[in-house]
Structures are given as structure tokens and as C-alpha cells.
Amino acid sequence: MKIKLYRNLAQYTLTSSVKTADINLLKKYNPDALTIKDAEGNVKFAIGYNEGKSSVAPFGVTFGATDVTTGAAMVKGELPASADTAEKCGEYVADIVGKALAYVNILEETIPAAVADVTTARSALIGSITEG
């Protein structure tokens, strides 16, 4: 996940390597692939997409925007007025993202294979449909 600061706009962005379209595909066909579970099978971290409703928490990230060029899922957030130096901005974002980043990195590694599996299965299903 790439993190960028836009101090002139008082905003920051988190851009995932996962595409919004892939998140929506897995949400429909394999929602478990968007989660990390503990040994008992309880969800301890999840990612999702909800247009305009970005959020980052220790238990999950909701991407609320999409890079128009690459289709990558993004979080767009506001920098507080108190973050008036580059260092303070970096510390603010690090405090927000810190606990979630490791989990997001894990999911960014596993999601592409899950998407490939769903795409293959879905294509096979569509190919098997015949006209009456």
C-alpha cells in the first residue's frame, strides 16, 4: 500500500495494490478472501469498499475511492490543522495506519490468487450456460 501526503490540500491517500473491482468481485463470490481470521475462525481483520466512506481501524479498512487511472482502491483522509509540518503529518498518518498496515499487506499478497480463482470459476460457469 502506498501512502502519500498532500499538505497543500490537508489530505492524505492510501493506495492499495488491490483494485476496487477485485474487492467488489470477492465481496460477491468469496467474501472470506477479504478477511484474516484467527485460529478459532473469528474475523480479526477485513477490507471492503464503500464509495465515499473511507475508514481505517485496527480491525479493518474500508476503501472509499478509486484511482481513475489504475482502478486501485484508495482511502482518502483529512489531515488535521495541528499537523502543520511534514513530520507531524507523517506521524498522524502512521498512527492511523500502523495497526492495519501489516494485515493489508498480507491481503494484498493473497487477494490476486483468490480473484484468479473466482474469475476462472465464473468464466467456466458462464461458458456452461446454454440457451433454451
Partner 1 sequence: MIQIKIRTNTAKEIVNAEITASPNAIFGDLSIDPSQSRVTLNGDVITNLNKTFEELGVTDGTSNTLNAIVKADGAAE
Positions in the binding site for partner 1 (CB under 8 A): 35, 42-43, 46-48, 50, 53, 55-57, 59-62
CB hemisphere CA count around 71 (13 angstroms): 7
Least separation, in Å, of the C-beta of 105 and partner 1? 17
d(CA 30, CA 52): 23
d(CA 22, CA 126): 18
**Cell digits for 118?**
473466482
| Of residues 50 and 119, the one with the C-beta less far from partner 1 | 50
Contact of 55 with 95, CB cutoff 8 Å:
no
Least separation, in Å, of the C-beta of 69 and partner 1? 25
Least separation, in Å, of the C-beta of 24 and partner 1? 12
Least separation, in Å, of the C-beta of 57 and partner 1? 4
| Of residues 11 and 35, the one with the C-beta less far from partner 1 | 35
| Of residues 10 and 43, the one with the C-beta less far from partner 1 | 43
User: Under the phi-then-psi rule, with left for phi > 0, alpha for psi from -120 to 50, and beta for the rest, what region is 71?
Assistant: left
d(CA 118, CA 105): 21
| Of residues 59 and 85, the one with the C-beta less far from partner 1 | 59
